[in-house]
Structure 1
Amino acid sequence: MGESTEVPVNDQAFEETWRVRISMPGGGMLGAGILLGVDTVLTCAHVIPWDGDGPEPGGEVLVELVGVADAAPVRARVAEGAWVPEQEDSRGDVALLRLAEPQHARHAAPLHRMVPSPGRTVRMFGHPDVPGLRDGVYFWATIDGPCGPRGEWVQLSPRTPAEAVRPGFSGAAVTDVETHRVLGMVVSRYDDRTVDAPAGQRLHLSYMIPIETIVRHLPQIEEHVGGRRGNDLPSVPRGAPLDRDFARWLARWLRAADGGGPGIEAIVIKKGEAARAATLSRAVALADREVTADCPPLAGRPAPPAGPPDRPPDQSAARPAPPGTARPGGSPGPPRTLRPPRPVDETVPPVGSVDLALDVSGETVAHVAERVADRLGLHTGDGATAVGRFGEIRTVPLTVVAEGVDYAADPMALVEFTDLLAARGARLLLVFRNPESQSLELALRMADPSKDEITARLDRVRDRIEHIARRERAAYDRTALIAPVRAVPQEATGLRLDLTTLRCDPERGSRRFLPKLAAFESAVESGLLRVEEVIGLAEAGVARRDELRGRLEAFYALLATRSLAEERATAPLYRVAHNLLYQAPCELTEAERAVERFAEAVRLHTHRPRGGDRQ
């Protein structure tokens, strides 16, 4: 590491008094932490040694406020109910320590809910167990975007390769350079070990857990967090009605955040459309880092491992990391076998794909501007000032959902403000309740693509329908191989007729055509999913049939060393199994029984001594 990447603590223009160094009482560096309130420290779970005895670590560690002059070391333990070790899918890995002696409240960290928008500059302060650096060193990085397990992490690109976090940085605060607010906590790093890549081109990345994700795991810290939540829409009770086609459309629109797409999308959810309203709230909750919905549940505290941890106490981690990924609080562990990924649910948007969701009914433009500014971490005196600031800001990298736009205090002014945000890179989903409102007409004009774009979308839909037709033919071929033969959805013919009707729609040149086109695009995607589901089931049956064929031939090969009489004795069973496996359609249940009968007969003969071997 060169001097250009390390800045001694004393050279900082201001001090961060919340910085914490965590070590063993008898010596040995563990990692970093963040002081919350007067007696709580936030850190990574893998920083704290755990021998697997009990639901959480019971031993003491030593905490030092390195940002406070002459602060005495304090002993600490894991706070009750505040231990979330790394889960099987790498989520979690957060913990709270309770200090034996309270500290002054003025030293606590300014945690803040803020969008970790790409391009923002941050810095971290860690404690590598290296002579001369034990008192700490600053590293700088740039936020890239969400990544990691279900999007829980945020990737950071170090200012230089030497500034990728390393052992001693786990649990360190990630501080926004512009606002001096703590946006997250260091959790991991990636070192490119590809031997073919030139040394100067290898990847060196760092990762943080954003504050909102930490609140999701540890709701106890919410009292220490500033900034309003990013989701104001009502919660969705379990069992609420779900419009699956609308849910798929929402998920696709939110996934398109990184791939462009329209800056403004206007939709209508009329009063009384409970299923669509609940589906919107569910999608926003699934996309929010902090609010939970009926997504794959977060694992609770796992049962403690049967044996001791994989690393010694001063390099502890809840679980070995995948190849190339290492916890900066310890050395890289051996590769682990990951569980198969969950099947993709087309109705679930990516975590972090909604930055702000508001019910703007009765709200002013100034209020909405203030909420947007807060999510960006902008300092504004009042709402009017916030509106003015957006005329100066070059980029607004947010995805915003605004519900009840036509019931705002000034709907037309609000739609015009959203157009200003869209011009600066924001993506906005504007939800209206009245299909006849003037503000909806204005929003549709802003979102209205040209006639050439509409033609291109119709052509893409036509190509998609032809793809469905090809997949239907494939489905017929594959389903015919396995009994019982499954019915193949006949989607393509009806969709072709609907497309012809849509092309001849008298409103094709007007703004009212867009909702029809969007609904048809959603119907086409749903049709493709139904066909693919049938193909997937058929492919699973074919794979099982091929597995049984291989098993049959493997047992037949075992008879090669036996006598001709033994081979003839098992031949009828072999022929029955062979005929079942090579007929179409193949009845898998019967074929599996026949293969097992033949295999049992082969075992009987191959375990019996041959004539010359008998005693």
Structure 2
Amino acid sequence: MTRTGERAVKSRLRTPPWVARIEQPDGLVLGAGVLLAPDRVLTAAHVVRPGRPYVVHFVGVPGVPGVAAVVREDEYVPERNDAFGDRSGDLALLRLAQPLPAEHTTRLYRLASPHGPVSMYGFPAGDDGGRWHGATLVAARGRDNQVQLRPQTPDELAAPGFSGGGVVDHETDEVIGIVLSVDVGPGSVFSYMSPTETILSHLPQAAVWTEGAEAVDPALRPGVTAAAGRLDVPFATELASWFRGEGWPVLVTVVPARSGRAWTLTRAVTLADRELRTQQNTSAFSHDPPETVPPAGGHDLALDVKNMTAAQVMDRIAGRLGIRGDPRPERLGALRVPLAAVLVGVDQAAEPDALLGLLDRLAQQGARLLLVFRRPGDRSARAAESFVQRPLRDRWARLHRELDYIVDELGPALDEHRDRVSVDPGTRHLLDQAEAGVRRTRMLRAWVAHTPEREREPRLADLLFTFEDAAERRSRRLEQAVQVLDARVHRREELLGRVTAEWPLCRERAAAEGGDRVVEAYRLYELALSLLRQTPCDVDAAETAVRRFVGFCSGTAPGPGTTSGRGGGS
């Protein structure tokens, strides 16, 4: 077990002093909270209301009585649905009448692309002492970037008493957010967390109680206002598409400093950051074309790499992802959520070639990269060729080969097998789907072969990905269908070999016994043989005939004019 893992396990064997249980004055438990400052407790807004009295208990600090608390209007962000119907907000800060010692507090921690196992502390009904529940972070949802939590076991679904409770990341042993809500519908297994950076976008005053690297370098966020520059609409549209995860995962572009493109870039980086995107700056661009506005959470890190070494860049990436002690590129491949990073000034880095080598390894592991060069030239052109053009051509070529394999190899193999043996009724649907896949792939291959180059641009790579997924599904289904039929072909050959080998001995034995046994043996032999040689062969009917023939020959099946079989060797 790693040192970090040991630390996380130890923390879950005790009740942290920062855990708060929030009650009404009459003792009714409403939810949980996190002590961020001696006199501040962070919780979910639906747990409390401004101006009402509450009592907060700190179950991890023995001997401390309940503390009176209230919520002010300027520290209360109620849950709302935005224009798209996504949930937003649901955060509040309770002010304690009597502050606690500072050593009982904890800090929020910024963590990019939450992933992996976490624990949350809350108070299910009847358990005033509280307990830990385990969960796995699944993915961000909605424009407020609330994160889905899947319980590790069905009994660990976050009950209402967990609302407002802290969520601790196992890798870093840090509080990375709070529980907001629980889906209580039929079959629901999810609860939701507001991550630290989303909390800060609604409650910026909580930044003083926050640790962890900010996503955006100060040099890349000079305070975006509506009058700060002129929007380059085509470039803004291209950037927003990349931040939405559309098109080719690596975008290489040239953005001179102090230019209109530079302002457009900083605008996009700011709006795509969970912490920096606020109601104030989004309203400033409310009249911009919608396609130019990126989603919040569109990147994990925006870094000005001027004068930085490759090792320093890797350290910054590892820090944002919560990787401690061993920041190797290989560790990023194990992350459930791919890295999305903006790197500005790649050509001005201390080691441009070494940095590009590192970024190439990250790209091969699935990272999404926006690589910004300050000047056009050979290095930016080579990067565009290496990260975009060549791999894109290779993927199209590989798709061609996969389509050829389906149409020219798997399709004929399926036809050849279906000509030899009939279809098992239980697998007919699979085989019909496989045949339909060949027909559709034949049309797709013709379309791809005549696709104009403009349809193969990086920004339209989602079309390529769709085709690749379809080809993979069809190839897998065809291989399965051929395998099913191949098993029936082999069974037919086994039955044919058994009948052929059995016939000489059977004929000799029947002749020795005399009577009509020779005639019956020959009839059963011819019936089995004719069914096996029929094309396509009905393997099930043939196997029944072979069993009757072999049974008759071995004496375990009745002969003509008899009512019971006679023993004999096979």
Please tell me the TM-score bracket, short chain as reference.
0.5 to 0.7
What SS does the corresponding residue of 1:134 show, helix, strand or coil? coil
Runs of 4+ in 1 over 4 A off after TM superposition: 9-12, 293-299, 452-457, 499-503, 517-522
Q: 1:441 pairs with 375, 382, 386, which one? A: 382
Partner Cα separation in structure 1 for residue 261 and residue 11 of structure 2? 56
| Residue 185 to residue 521, structure 1, CA distance change in 2 (3 Å) | closer
**Secondary structure in 2 matching 1:102:** coil
Q: CA deviation at 1:70?
A: 2.1
Give the whole-Å Cα distance in 1 for the aligned partners of 2:452 and 2:331: 47
Look up the SS of the partner of 2:240 in the other structure. Answer: helix
What is the deviation of 1:17?
1.7
- Secondary structure in 2 aligned to 1:138? strand
Alignment of 1:346 onto 2:291:
yes
- Give yes or no for contact 2:252–2:383 (8 Å, CA) kept in 1: no
Asked whether the 8 Å contact 2:236–2:292 carries over to 1, the reply is yes
Structure 2: gaps spanning 5 or more residues? 1-8, 400-450, 463-570
The SS at the match of 2:173 is coil
Matches within 5 A, 1:491-530: 517=457
CA gap 1:275/1:358 in 2 versus in 1, 3 angstroms: same
Whether the 8 Å contact between 1:116 and 1:143 is mirrored in structure 2 is: no
Q: What is the aligned partner in structure 2 of residue 237 from structure 1? A: 225
2:244 and 2:163 map into 1 onto residues whose CA distance is 30
- Tell me, yes or no, if the aligned pair for 2:332 and 2:362 is still in contact at 8 Å: no
Q: Distance in 1 between matches of 2:233 and 2:397?
A: 27
Who wins on radius of gyration, i.e. which is larger?
2
Q: Which residue of 2 aligns with 1:427?
A: 368
**What is the deviation of 1:10?**
11
The aligned counterpart of 1:364 is: 309
**Whole-angstrom distance in 2 between the partners of 1:14 and 1:425:** 38
Deviation, 1:44, is 1.0
Is residue 203 of structure 1 aligned with residue 176 of structure 2?
A: no
Kept after mapping to 2: 8 A contact 1:23/1:30: yes
Partner of 2:75: 82
Counterpart code for 2:22: I
| 2:344 aligned to which of 398, 403, 406 | 403
2:212 matched to 1:227? Answer: yes
- Name the SS for the 1:13 alignment partner: coil
Query: Does residue 268 of the first structure (1) align with residue 207 of the second (2)?
Result: no
Which of 127, 130, 138 is equivalent to 2:132?
A: 138
Confirm or deny: 8 A CA contact 1:36 1:224 kept in the other structure: yes
1:123 corresponds to which letter in structure 2? S
1:345-384 deviation digits (Å, cap 9, x = unpaired): 222222212110011112222221121111111223xxxx
**Aligned residue for 2:120?**
124
**5+ residue gaps in structure 1?**
1-8, 51-56, 194-201, 300-341, 458-498, 504-513, 523-615
Q: Which residue is equivalent to 2:245?
A: 256
The answer to whether 1:394 aligns with 2:382 is no
Specify the SS of the correspondent of 2:88: coil
Q: Give the match's secondary structure for 1:241.
A: coil
- Give 1:225 deviation, angstroms: 0.4
For residues 191 and 363 of structure 2, the distance between their equivalents in structure 1, rounded to whole angstroms, comes to 30
Q: Per-residue CA shift, 1:555-614, capped at 9, x if unaligned?
A: xxxxxxxxxxxxxxxxxxxxxxxxxxxxxxxxxxxxxxxxxxxxxxxxxxxxxxxxxxxx
2:357 corresponds, among 416, 421, 435, to 416
Q: Contact 1:412–1:442 at 8 Å: present in 2 too? A: no
Alignment partners' CA distance in 1, 2:239 and 2:324: 32
Distance 2:391 2:25 in 1: 65
Counterpart contact for 2:201–2:278, Cα < 8 Å: no
Tell me the TM-score normalized by structure 2.
Answer: 0.63
Is 1:213 the equivalent of 2:202? no
- In 2, the alpha carbon distance for the partners of 1:127 and 1:254 equals 38
Query: 1 CA distance for matches of 2:350 and 2:283?
Result: 39
Counterpart-to-counterpart distance in 1, 2:349 and 2:41: 42
More contact order relative to length (CA 8 Å, sep ≥ 6): 1
Q: Deviations 1:198-219 (Å, cap 9, x if unpaired)?
A: xxxx232100001111111111
Cα pair 1:144 1:157 within 8 Å, conserved: yes
For 2:255 and 2:460, the matched residues in 1 are separated by: 17
Q: 1:124 to 1:455 in 2, by over 3 A?
A: same
Residue 178 (structure 1) shift: 2.3
Which whole-Å CA distance do the structure 2 matches of 1:101 and 1:172 have between them?
A: 21
TM-score, normalization: structure 1? 0.58
- Percent of aligned positions that are identical: 42
The verdict on how the C-alpha distance between 1:520 and 1:243 changes in structure 2, with shifts beyond 3 A counting, is farther
Residue in 2 aligned with 1:71? 64
The residue identity in structure 1 corresponding to 2:349 is A
1:114 paired to 2:111: yes
> Is the Cα–Cα contact under 8 Å of residues 406 and 440 in structure 1 kept in the other structure?
no
- In structure 2, give the amino acid aligned to 1:253: W
CA distance in 2: counterparts of 1:423 and 1:390, whole angstroms:
11
RMSD between aligned residues: 3.2
State the one-letter code of the partner of 1:112. Answer: Y
CA distance in 2, matches of 1:92, 1:252: 25
Aligned with 1:378 (options 323, 329, 337): 323
Contact 2:109–2:175 (8 Å) recurs in 1: yes
